[in-house]
């Protein structure tokens, strides 16, 4: 059933996590809201999630450098459908590279793969019971704890 469910739902949600073990099955990440709340209320998750608050770097003309107004929401034990190429850097450098590139919507660091980053819509995030990656999704600091959001910035 899981394989069939995955095939039927693959590619249909953005900035949301879905799991057959959750109720509802899909939910938007913190800092995101359903684009069409009526669709989500009837369990139609194809409408995707959108940012509740635009990123600071999206509001300024220089989109290559972000400010301390952006941070990352940590998602534990997830599977990401889109693959990213690994770059051999430390976790801190990985975070900094994503933070200073407004196109970067998420990153992860794995000791075997290295630094991975994603741009565009972050699709098909599956919540796992164990294993998987820790994924850091870029959000506006207003949606996070201020101390967490602005700490350890390069």
Q: What is the 3-state secondary structure (H, E, C) of the chain?
A: CHHHHHHHHCCCCECEEECCCCCCCEEECCCEEECCHHHHHCCCHHHCEEECCCCHHHHCCCCCCCCCCEEEEEEEEEEECCCCCCECCCHHHHHHHHHCCCCEEEEEEECCCEEEEEECCCECEEECCCCCEEEEEEEEHHHCCHHHHCCCCC
Q: What is the pLDDT of residues 76-101, one digit of tens each?
A: 999 887 777 779 999 999 999 998 89
- The answer, as to whether pTM is greater than 0.85, is no
| Predicted pLDDT of residue 143 | 52
**Sequential pLDDT tens for the chain (154 residues):** 344 444 344 455 788 887 777 777 788 888 899 998 888 888 777 778 898 888 877 666 555 444 467 889 999 999 887 777 779 999 999 999 998 898 899 999 998 889 999 988 888 788 888 888 999 999 887 755 554 454 334 3
């Amino acid at each position: 059933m899981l394989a069939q469910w995955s095939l039927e739902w693959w590619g249909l949600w953005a900035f949301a996590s879905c799991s057959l073990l959750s109720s509802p099955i899909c939910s938007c990440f913190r800092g995101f809201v359903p684009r069409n709340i009526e669709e989500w209320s009837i369990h139609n998750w194809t409408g995707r999630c959108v940012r509740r608050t635009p990123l600071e770097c999206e509001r300024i003309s220089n989109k290559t450098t972000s400010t301390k107004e952006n941070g990352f929401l940590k998602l534990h034990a997830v599977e990401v459908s889109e693959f990213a190429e690994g770059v051999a850097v430390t976790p801190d450098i990985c975070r900094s590279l994503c933070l200073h590139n407004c196109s970067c919507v998420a990153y992860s660091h794995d000791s075997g793969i290295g630094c991975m980053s994603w741009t565009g819509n972050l699709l098909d995030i599956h919540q796992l019971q164990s294993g998987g990656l820790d994924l850091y999704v870029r959000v506006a600091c207003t949606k996070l704890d201020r101390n967490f959001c602005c700490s350890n910035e390069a």
